[in-house]
Structure 1
């Protein structure tokens, strides 16, 4: 775009330039891919959309339908799946067209909404994961007392905070335009019909990063403690003789083992979230302080790495949780429609 506006000598002739809207003044320049790469990109991105929507829908149906899965911790996971599901419905399909066609065809109003949804569901995910890490810490440190500490009401408050804070913050920031304060000249210079650029100034990009970093730091500390405790518990159990294992403490050991496995699985989900979103947030800081130098294709790559995180959690659950695999089988085969299916035993033990 900058090259076209400058009219450099090596720019393509005007007749070779494609516009998002050919017959409209002020249209953005279109830089589409050739047929082969376009087909590959549409396939990859569409696969991500389907995987995100279907995978997280299966998680929500599993937890909400089967009574055996009705627990405060699982309601948090279902709410997290809801955030990822909404990314797949309201964000990823439109970003697919933008990324491949290099144009935004869905109107300026939805451009702003799209960015609000993106921010809301990202922060909702990280705060859900933060509360889940605290839940796992309580479960691992004292699994027998844990049910009296993390109740349905506590879970409900965690879910409500995660959603309300994320939505209110994102819509207030992007809806009022305060994110672009001081960048009016830049925004005006880059504005064109068929574009969807959301600029965030240095102050608010730091706030965004802190809102990402603080719960992330808490999760890292909490999961470090969880794995230290789990390692200590494992050594303690190994040192017990067969007679002790068969005593009254065996139930405590089985519960502790189950909670450690759940903590490990959700710890992997947290690591996946960090790998997916950290590059995007770091780039946003670099961009804001160095004059928005990130090439468009780099930005799109970072965005899609972050989007694909919404598809990863159901895969993690399917890999580590036998009950989830069994629930998926019952849902896909239609057995959930049978009377009494909600009481089916999903656990092997």
Structure 2
């Protein structure tokens, strides 16, 4: 009987060198499983709707929306990767050493690309609000696509290089079967933290503070001269209001991003000596992943085109001929 109980605590009961399972109360494990599974399914579904919307409807093919598409793609993959976190609830990895490394590399690439896309979104809003006359000529679809591709390629190259040793010998740092351990060189880890978090977050905050200051100034200027606006100028004012609304919406996205990701990166920054228990660590990780689920919800509240496109997708009207030409705005 004792041997059976002892075997039940092992990831691989048939192996003497198996890792031990993390023993938690059944209720806690089930709640964690349900929460993570729900967030994963919701994240994948909502971001898939964003991807289909922007990809399908031609009216949505704008530089800003392509940046949102890149963010939705990274968030979509985050939702898929969360299923691996669900599998790790009891502390056992059953998918082999190679999949462990692949999962970690993808996690790093997607996270870094998401942060890079946020920087591009901030730069897009900075040019749109602070230099609106040059925005149409400077921020073109082609340039935005090139920037997005460069963002993903640089992220893949840098993190592939950083995790090269782990890729060459998967499982080299595991102490037992059923473990998923990745070791990164200290200097490489610090460099990654600076380039993937500290520098991008600083750029995002600085750019959006500038956008906020200019937006407030422009709003006051428009209110003070509203009586003298001609029909021709009113078109420009409407365009400016549209840009300001987009800036506010994307500002909400960025603020939510900072709230959800900063605790995770701060824990990473403080290192292994940080005073966190298992529950606190789990909360920080869940908050980090939950951000990917929140972005489409923000679009649903702030963008009428997203609500309209969801209706067309759910009712399968996008399968009709020439549905991509539908007036969605």
Please confirm whether the aligned pair reaches a TM-score higher than 0.5, indicating the same fold.
yes
**Matching residue within 289, 306, 313 for 2:295:** 313
**Matching residue within 84, 98, 119 for 1:130:** 119
8 Å contact from structure 1 (residues 287, 293) kept in 2: no
**Matching residue within 31, 36, 48 for 2:27:** 36
Q: Report the equivalent of 2:281.
A: 299
Whether 1:19 aligns to 2:10 is yes
Q: Taking structure 1 as reference, are residues 297 and 174 closer, same or farther at Cα in structure 2, changes over 3 Å only?
A: farther
Q: TM-score w.r.t. structure 2 length? A: 0.91
SS in 1 for 2:110: helix
**Matching residue within 70, 77, 91 for 2:68:** 77
> Displacement of 1:293 after TM fit?
6.9
Whether 1:218 aligns to 2:200 is no
Q: Report the equivalent of 1:233.
A: 218
Query: How many matched pairs?
Result: 323
8 Å contact from structure 1 (residues 143, 255) kept in 2: no
Distance 1:35 1:142 in 2: 57
* Runs of at least 5 residues in structure 1 that lack an aligned partner in the other structure: 1-12, 179-186
Q: Taking structure 1 as reference, are residues 145 and 285 closer, same or farther at Cα in structure 2, changes over 3 Å only?
A: closer
Distance 1:33 1:163 in 2: 38
Q: Report the equivalent of 2:256.
A: 272
Q: Report the equivalent of 2:189.
A: 205
Q: TM-score w.r.t. structure 1 length? A: 0.86
Whether 1:62 aligns to 2:46 is no
> Displacement of 1:62 after TM fit?
0.5
**Matching residue within 97, 109, 112 for 2:98:** 109
Distance 2:130 2:226 in 1: 23
Whether 1:282 aligns to 2:266 is yes
Encode CA deviations 1:286-338: one digit per residue, 9 max, x unaligned.
225x4x87544443332222111111111111111111111111111111111
Question: Which region of structure 1 is more displaced relative to structure 2, 276-285 or 18-27?
Answer: 276-285
Distance 2:130 2:83 in 1: 42
Distance 1:202 1:279 in 2: 21
Q: Report the equivalent of 1:52.
A: 43
Encode CA deviations 1:216-245: one digit per residue, 9 max, x unaligned.
101100000101111011111111243x23
Q: Report the equivalent of 2:153.
A: 164
Matches within 5 A, 1:149-160: 149-160=138-149
SS in 1 for 2:183: coil
Question: Which region of structure 1 is more displaced relative to structure 2, 145-154 or 110-119?
Answer: 145-154
SS in 2 for 1:19: coil
> Displacement of 1:63 after TM fit?
0.6
8 Å contact from structure 2 (residues 162, 184) kept in 1: no
Distance 1:259 1:241 in 2: 18
Whether 1:195 aligns to 2:183 is no
Q: Taking structure 1 as reference, are residues 22 and 295 closer, same or farther at Cα in structure 2, changes over 3 Å only?
A: farther
> Displacement of 1:256 after TM fit?
0.9
8 Å contact from structure 2 (residues 12, 177) kept in 1: yes
> Displacement of 1:201 after TM fit?
4.3
8 Å contact from structure 1 (residues 318, 324) kept in 2: yes
> Displacement of 1:70 after TM fit?
0.7
Q: Report the equivalent of 1:259.
A: 243
Distance 1:111 1:241 in 2: 60
